A and B are shown apart, each in its own frame.
Chain A
């Protein structure tokens, strides 16, 4: 896997000998976009942060909490050095002297490995002060502005954008927030060792060999899942909790555009395989519960709407739902997506919209009267 390569800080050495504008151009040509799911062009974020004035900060977002996603954990386990190297390169580009790794609390077992990597960096370079902060746990803490509030000691609610973090971030200073995987790609790009089509897929669910798989975008779902050895007959593929749910189709070509056309989102390359022996209604109800638990509570539609979705899912399970409930489900799903402020709220009903479209039979338990 390209992510496991031992770059030995050679990417950083080369970067330090280059002009930041040249580096930004190199990253632009690589086509790298944010691997945290939003896919914002990395060069653009770097360039905006570079042109902002004042003391700057780099934040490495390691609050990976999307259900079914564990590729950042994998990277930090296998190669924390490349992440630290990426942070140092980004800091060099935007001229930051302070960097923060914001690690999800559930991953605190990675703390030792990351601290060792920081020590290694400090021994050889040390011009940037890299802090490691362990989060207190919460899906929303992975949102780039919620991280900033969390680091400032505030409740980690997301902020309105603009201003964007690259202009006004941590303590109002220009802040570059990038995902673990995005930063880990920087040394590879600089060393000319980066393959733009390779992605890390987190595969789990009803497969014999769950894990992180490296594959090229454009691979078919069937070909990729064959490597993880499916158990039974795959029925559904969940693209995390926020990426939607599709019918399992072995011929489905995995590209972002393709998945988006179907109403899903391949943001973090998460694939949870659910076979035909599972109770999909229970799976769905628990995704709804996930969003109830993880809503920060700031926007009313997300805070109040998601619990209503759980209520209706429970009624469907009990057999007491009516067709009116089902149409309310659809309206709630659209309304929450349209009126929530942050990405979590907006994506919190993608599973429901796609489930209603591709698995109508799951919801057909509702009585036709109202």
Chain B
């Protein structure tokens, strides 16, 4: 059994995103048009088809995290970093995340793939330092 998902993960882990040239060779390997491979790769939330910014900060905004202060944390990141949500400017991209399955450890923040659980407003500055 061969799974394209395994190839996509290998590329993502190696480059930190899915470069076009790699998707082209994957398309060739599987005998599929690039458009089809791209349509698959771009669907998943854990893969990036663009050259990513230096740092990703994601704040889960599902109900359990919101009930535990996720929106205050999101806005604190906005203010401290001077960036707006989903903006592509600068080195840091701040995102709203969907449920991460850690609702018992809410609120959850993900920075460059590392999970931070039960985050409190007073931890924000320390977390931002990880991006500097």
Contact = CB atoms under 8 A, between A and B. Distances in A.
A70 B66 contact: no
A65 B99 CA distance: 7
A133 B99 contact: no
Contact of B63 (A210, A274, A294): A274
B40 interface: yes
A205 B63 contact: yes
A137 B45 contact: yes
Size class of the contact patch on chain B: 35 or more
Interface in B35-78: 36, 39-41, 43-47, 61-64, 66-68, 71
Nearest to B64: A204
13 contacts: A67-B99, A68-B99, A69-B99, A133-B3, A135-B44, A136-B9, A137-B45, A137-B46, A210-B104, A238-B63, A241-B62, A283-B66, A293-B98
Interface string A259-296: 00000000000001111001000110011011001101
A133 B102 contact: no
A156 B3 CA distance: 13
A155 B47 CA distance: 13
B44 A138 contact: yes
B1 A289 contact: no
Contacts of B104: 70, 202-204, 210-212
Interface string B12-47: 000000000000000000101000100111011111
Contacts of B68: 205-206
B106 to A, nearest CB: 6
A132 to B, nearest CB: 10
A151 B3 contact: yes
B67 A153 contact: no
Contact of A67 (B8, B30, B45, B63): B63
A282 B30 CA distance: 45
A272 B103 contact: yes
Nearest to A210: B104
Nearest to B100: A106
Contacts of A139: 98-99
B45 A272 contact: no
Interface of B: 1, 3-6, 8-9, 30, 32, 36, 39-41, 43-47, 61-64, 66-68, 71, 96, 98-106
B41 to A, nearest CB: 8
Contacts of B71: 282
Nearest to B103: A204
A131 interface: yes
B63 A104 contact: no
Given A131-B1, A133-B6, A153-B5, A286 B103 contact: no
A290 B66 contact: no
B107 to A, nearest CB: 11
A229 to B, nearest CB: 13
A206 B67 contact: yes
Nearest to A98: B1
Contacts of A287: 62-63
Nearest to B99: A67
A210 B64 contact: yes
Contacts of B103: 67-70, 202, 204-205, 210, 272
Contacts of B102: 70, 73
Given A133-B3, A133-B6, A134-B9, A68 B40 contact: no
A65 B41 CA distance: 19
Interface string A177-204: 0000000000000000000000000111
Interface in A193-239: 202-206, 210-212, 238
A107 interface: yes
Contact of A136 (B8, B96, B106): B8
A131 B8 CA distance: 16
A307 interface: no
A106 B60 CA distance: 12
B63 A241 contact: yes
B95 to A, nearest CB: 11
A290 B98 CA distance: 6
B118 to A, nearest CB: 10
Given A65-B99, A136-B47, A154 B40 contact: yes
Nearest to A149: B40
